[in-house]
């Protein structure tokens, strides 16, 4: 077992008294501190042990909630809304712009593991629809130019 995984798990679980009732916030916090935005199999095993619950319960929760992932993802997650209002407002251009700018299709991660582009359901930004969520921030009423700038800014943020 990797000591840094142990350490992360311990620091988060301790905050929540090692009580499995808090599994959801524990997983969310651990995922936030994981570079690839996911809970690895090894980490899931560690968490199960620390909280004295079965691994299958940990996986049940990870796979149930869309904010949690059991697969590695990009460092920056871009979620395009594909719900009712955004469809009515024709989000197809927006989808294309992001796909072109990132050079990937929805559902994929860029080869440098920087970005993951996915569809998501309404995140309550229908007043600026078609909307996109980049990490925790919401953007709407975008143009081709603005999409380019947003991605460039996020790219710049790493180097």
Partner 1 sequence: MKQVHFITELFDKYDGRSLQAYLDAGGFTALKKLFDISSEAVLAEIDASGLQGRGGAAYPTGKKLRQARAEKAARKFVVCNADEGEPGTFKDRELLKCNIYQVIEGMVIAGICTQSQEGIIYVREEYTNMHDEIRAAIAECYKHNYLGKGIMGSPYNFDLKLFSGAGSYVCGEGFAMCESMEGKSGRPRSKPPYVKQEGFLRLPTLVINTETLSAIVSIIKHGADSFRRYGTEKSPGTKLISISGKVNRPGVYEIPFGLTIREIINDLAGGIRNGKKGHFVQIGGASGGILPERLWDTPYTYEDLAKAGLSVGSGAIVVADEDNSLLDYLKVVQDFFRHESCGKCTPCREGNRQLRFIFDRIINGTATAADYDNLEIVLDVMGKASLCGSGKTEVVPFRTAQRYFPELFMTKECFVAKKAVV
Query: In the complex, which residues of this chain contact partner 1 (CB under 8 A)?
Result: 20-28, 57, 60-61, 63-68, 82-85, 87-89, 120-129, 133, 136-138
Spatial strand order of the sheet with 76-81 comes to 115-120, 76-81, 132-134, 137-139
Sign of CA dihedral 65, 71, 72, 73: negative
Closest by Cα among 80, 18, 21, 76 to 47: 18
Contacting range for ligand FES; rule: CB under 6 A; set: 53-61, 93-101, 121-129, 149-157 = 121-129
> 114: buried, middle or exposed (CB in 10 Å: 19+, 13-18, 0-12)?
middle
Q: How far is the CB of 100 from ligand FES (least distance, A)?
A: 21
Q: Does 122 bind ligand FES (CB under 6 A)?
A: yes
Among ligand FES, partner 1, none, the one that 68 touches (CB under a kind-dependent 5 to 8 A) is: partner 1
In the complex, what is the shortest distance from the CB of residue 140 to ligand FES, in angstroms, rounded to a whole number?
8
**Interface residue list for ligand FES (CB under 6 A):** 81, 83-86, 122-126, 129, 131
């Amino acid at each position: 077992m990797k000591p840094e995984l142990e350490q992360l798990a311990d620091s988060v679980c301790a905050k929540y008294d090692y009580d499995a009732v808090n599994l959801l916030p524990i997983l969310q916090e651990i995922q936030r501190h994981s570079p690839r935005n996911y809970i690895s199999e090894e980490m899931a095993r560690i968490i199960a042990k620390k909280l004295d619950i079965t691994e299958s319960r940990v996986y049940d929760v990870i796979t149930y909630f869309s904010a949690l992932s059991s697969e590695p993802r990009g460092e920056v997650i871009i979620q395009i809304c594909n719900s009712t209002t955004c469809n009515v407002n024709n989000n197809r251009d927006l989808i294309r712009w992001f796909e072109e700018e990132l050079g990937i299709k929805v559902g994929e991660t860029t080869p440098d593991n920087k970005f993951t582009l996915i569809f998501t359901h309404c995140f309550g930004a229908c007043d600026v629809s078609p909307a996109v969520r980049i990490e925790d921030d919401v953007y709407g009423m975008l143009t081709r130019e603005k999409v380019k700038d947003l991605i460039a800014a996020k790219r710049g943020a790493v180097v």
